[in-house]
Amino acid sequence: MKTYLLPKDGQFYKANLHMHTVVSDGKMTPAEVKEEYMKRGYSIVAYTDHEALVPHTELTDDKFVAITSYEIATNKGACQGGFPFEQTYHMNLYAKDPNKDLSPVFTMSRLWPAHAGNYMSEEAKAVEWPREYSIESLNALIARANEDGFLVSYNHPNWSLQNYKDYAGLRGVWGVEFYNTGCARAGYPDTMQPIDDLLQQGERVFPLAADDAHAGKDTLHDCFGGFVMVKAEKLAYKTVMEALEKGDFYASSGPAIEELYLEDGVLHLKTSPAAKVEVITERRSRWCRRGEGLTELTFDLSDYIKTSREVSEKRAPSYFRITVTDASGETAQSRAYFEEEWN
Ligand SMILES: [Zn+2]
Ligand SMILES: [Zn+2]
């Protein structure tokens, strides 16, 4: 029997899950973002302007979904000498309800830039959720956001100058950026390490790749790098959000993962031409295949699978995930697939 890890049915829709517009410090209007991304084959953009939750439902139609979302920053120190802060937590909150324009974890005293407030209602601006730079404070915020129908991502740890001690105790995060185009192009490339660290602690986090673009139409210098391919039955807000929540997607800065299933202990994979394909697990057992233009691969995981339940019960959940690297070094990452999904 085949166990489909990426859904068998439906189609892929390309998404940029991190974007700034004139609502905060970006240069394009929300409509210009839609136009530029649609020209390049995207069907979904999350509008994640800083601090202000502003829906752009007027942009959603049968060819495009505008995800209602925003990005919050929780800084450790003050801005010094024009250079930002010490460490900072940046998180995106993605609303399952497209019309959501009020966030219970909004913090009026942290609104930046001030003009973003022009797009919000007085009721929305009356909220003052307490925020401080600590795991406890962040976990309380994430829990409240989850309860109120938001998926929460943890963004660009490297640019935020964060390391293991900053993110180790995070709970309830849905996704973590391993690729952020703006940060990567500015010299702060992220990695899968925070994702593996959180997975090892039993957190079910998904890898994300996104642009975090601020550019105007004239340069587009931080656009069209990292993206997510969502596999869903149709392009509709609710369907897309459900697929994202379940993890029916992969994230990439280049290569494609076209098919992924397990049959009788053997993992089957179809990709765009790859130079390296790895299967990475929670243990010191990994598989790595190198070549030129690899497109169809199988990995026999049956011995690994036989012992996975024992490991899950004793230690952390057993999982495997797939990394596909192309000839130019760009990668596609599957999410982690957990023991109960395939055993
Ligand atoms: Zn950010
Ligand atoms: Zn951002």
Q: How far is residue 130's CA from residue 144's CA, in Å, rounded to a whole number?
A: 12
The torsion defined by the Cα of 85, 154, 226 and 199, in degrees rounded to 10, comes to 130
pLDDT of residue 79: 61
Ligand 1 centroid to 313 CA: how many Å?
Answer: 37
Ligand 1 centroid to 18 CA: how many Å?
Answer: 9
pLDDT of residue 82: 57
pLDDT of residue 174: 98
Place of tokens 């996704």: 175
Indicate the pTM of the whole model. Answer: 0.97
Domain layout of the chain by residue ranges: 10-251, 257-342
Place of tokens 């130079």: 275
Ligand 2 centroid to 223 CA: how many Å?
Answer: 12
Ligand 2 centroid to 20 CA: how many Å?
Answer: 6
The torsion region of residue 264 among left (phi > 0), alpha (psi -120 to 50) and beta comes to: left
- Taking every pair of C-alpha atoms in the chain, what is the biggest distance, in angstroms? 61
Ligand 1 centroid to 144 CA: how many Å?
Answer: 20
Place of tokens 């974890």: 105
- Which ligand neighbours the alpha carbon of 75 most closely? 1
CB atoms under 10 Å from CB of 272, counted, come to 16
- The token duo for 317 is 């959940």
Ligand 1 centroid to 74 CA: how many Å?
Answer: 10
Ligand 2 centroid to 48 CA: how many Å?
Answer: 7
Per the document, the length of the chain is 343
Place of tokens 């500015």: 186
Burial of 32 (0-12, 13-18, 19+ CB in 10 A): middle
Class of the domain covering 10-251: alpha beta
The ranges of the chain with pLDDT < 70 are 78-85
pLDDT of residue 315: 78
CA distances from 268 to 45, 165, 329 (A): 30, 37, 22
Give the pLDDT confidence of 83-117 residue by residue, as tens digits.
Answer: 566 899 999 999 999 999 999 999 999 999 999 99
Class of the domain covering 257-342: mainly beta
CB atoms under 10 Å from CB of 40, counted, come to 12
Ligand 2 centroid to 282 CA: how many Å?
Answer: 30
Give the pLDDT confidence of 50-67 residue by residue, as tens digits.
Answer: 999 999 999 999 999 999
Q: Report strand pairing: 150-154 vs 175-180.
A: parallel
